[in-house]
Structure 1
Amino acid sequence: MSLPLKVRRLGRQPYEATWEAMSQFTNNRGPDTPDELWLLEHDPVFTLGQAGKSEHVLAPGDIPVIHVDRGGQVTYHGPGQIVAYPMVDLRRAGVGVRELVHKIEQAIIDTLGHWNIGADRLEGAPGVYVAGAKVAALGLRVRRGCSFHGLAFNVNMDLEPYHRINPCGYKGLEVTQVLDLGGPSSLSDVEDALVEEFCRQFDFVAEAAPPILPELPARVAV
C-alpha cells in the first residue's frame, strides 16, 4: 500500500534555520509521523560535511562556510538550485541506507529523463552526473532510523562559486546544471518531475503541505 508523503515547497530559506528545523523534526517524530519532502532554495552558503576537509574550501570569499552533520565533503547551495530534504522512516519504507541513496539517485536520473538528458552514477562518488559533470550532490544523515539532509540539484544558477571549492572533495570536478543541458529554466517544472519520480521510487503518494517549516512537539522519554 502506498504511503503518504507530505511535500512542502518552502521557497528561499536560510540554511541554518532549515538545518535546525529538520534536525528537530527528526528528533521529535514518532512511529506514526508521516514522511516529508522539503523543497527549497538556500541563500548562498558552502556546507562542509562530517568527512569534510577544510583544504577543499579554496577561496570562499564572502560566502559563509558552515560545518554540518551530514555525510560527504564540501558543496555549495545557492539560488537557482533545488535543495530537497527527504525525511523518511527507513524501516517503514522498507529500505536501508544504501538503497535509500540508490533510489534518490535514480529519482534524479529519471527526472532528467523527462527532458531526454542522459545521466548516470559514478562508482564511489555519490550523486548524479552527465558526461562526467556533476548535476546533483547527495549528503544524508540517518538518526533513529530516519533520514534527513538530502540532495542539491543544479537547475538555473550561477555556477561560479563552485570554482571556490573542490566540489565534494574532488579537485577539478566539473559541475553542470539542467538549463545548460537543454532542460527547463523553471525550478517548479523540475520540482514537479522530481516529486513524481521520488514518489515512484518509494511508492509514496504526494500530499501538498503548508509552505512552512513544521514544528513537532518534543518527544517525552519513557
Structure 2
Amino acid sequence: MQASAPAALDIRFLGRVDYACAVAAMQSMTAARGPHTPDALWLCEHPPTFTQGLAGKAEHVLTAGSIPVVATNRGGQVTYHGPGQVVAYPLLDFQRRGYFVKEYVHRLEEATIRTLAHFGITGHRVAGAPGIYVRLDDPASHAALPQRPQRRLPGSAAPQPDFTGLGKIAALGIKVSRHCSYHGLALNVAMDLEPFQRIHPCGYLDLTTVDMRRCGVATDWADVAVVLAQQLQALLN
C-alpha cells in the first residue's frame, strides 16, 4: 500500500513575539513531539534582537548598543531580527516528510525565491552562502549570476562566496533535533536596516543587507507573510 502524503501544515500567524520566548516554545514542542504530532509553520516578527548562532564569533558584533544579543542553537552566525521582517519557523518531522537537511534548505530557499517573484523581485542563490540575494542595481533582473551554485568536480574546494553587486534579502538558520526541524528563515520586507551595520551579517565583512522596500516594492508584513506561508506549504509537503 502506498504511504499517504503528509498532512498539511498547521499554519499560525503569531504577530510580534519575543525571540527567546519563540525559541523556548519551539524547543518545548520539539521535545514533546510524538509520531502523530502535526507539523506546523509559525510566522511572526520579533522586537529588535541580534541572534548569535552556534558558529557565531563575538567579534562579528561590532556595536550592539541597546539591542540585546541572544545566543541561540540554530546554525550559522550573527544576524538581526526586527519589526518589518517576516520570520518563518517550520516545525517538521523529517522522517515523516522523507527528506534530508540539504533538500530542506533548498526548499526553504525556493519558497523565498517564489515569494519574492510574486512581488516582482528576482531572488538568487550564491555558491557557498545559504540565503537569498538580489542584484542591487536591478532587483528584477533574471540574468543568471556568475557566482550562482554550480556543479563541482569531486574533491574540488568549496567556493568562496562572492557578494559583488548583491544584497542579502533573506537569511536561513535551522536546527534539527530528533529528526525534527525548528528555527527557519527571515525575509526582510520593510525594516530599519541600520542595525545590520552594527554586525558582520552571517559573519561576512562585505555583505550588504537589503529589504523589499529598498528593492522598490511597497507592501506590508501581512501580505508577504501570507504568500510565504502559501509557498512553504506547497514546497514542504
How many correspondences in the alignment?
A: 203
Note closer, same or farther for the CA distance 1:2–1:28 as it changes in structure 2 (3 Å cut). closer
Residue 25 of structure 1: aligned partner: 29
Q: 1:71 aligns with which of 65, 69, 75?
A: 75
Give the Å deviation of 1:94.
1.2
Structure 1 residue 91 displacement after superposition: 1.2
Q: Where in structure 1 are there 5+ consecutive unaligned residues?
A: 204-222
2:200 and 2:207 in contact (8 A); partners too: yes
Aligned pair 1:122/2:156, yes or no?
Answer: no
- Deviation, 1:180, is 1.7
Separation in structure 2 between the aligned mates of residue 7 and residue 55 of structure 1, nearest angstrom: 37
Rounded Cα–Cα distance in structure 2 between residues aligned with 1:56 and 1:126 = 18
The ranges of structure 1 where at least 4 consecutive aligned residues each deviate by more than 4 angstroms after the TM superposition are none
Deviations 1:2-32 (A, max 9, x none): 5220111111111111111100110001111
- Check conservation: 2:167, 2:208, Cα contact below 8 A: yes
Name the structure, 1 or 2, with higher relative contact order (CA <8 Å, separation 6+): 1
Identity of aligned residues (%): 51
Query: 2:116 is matched with which residue?
Result: 112
Consecutive unaligned residues in structure 2, runs of 5 or more: 136-165
Larger Rg, first or second structure (1 or 2): 2
Is residue 2:202 matched to residue 1:198? no
* CA RMSD, 1 decimal: 0.9
Separation (CA, whole Å) in 1 of partners of 2:42 and 2:229: 10
1:139 Cα shift? 0.4
Are 1:160 and 2:194 counterparts? yes
Shift in Å, 1:33: 0.6
Contact 1:115 1:182 in 2 (8 A): no
What SS does the aligned partner of 2:70 have? Answer: strand
Return the structure number with greater strand share: 1
Match of 2:11 in 1: 7
TM-score (norm. length: structure 1): 0.89
- How far the C-alpha of 1:185 sits from its partner, in A, is 2.4
What pairs up with 1:139-178 in 2 under 5 angstroms?
Answer: 139-178=173-212
The one-letter amino acid paired with 2:99 is V
TM-score, normalised to structure 2's length? 0.84
| Aligned residue among 60, 84, 88 for 1:56 | 60
State the AA in 1 paired with 2:107. K
Letter in 1 for 2:122: G
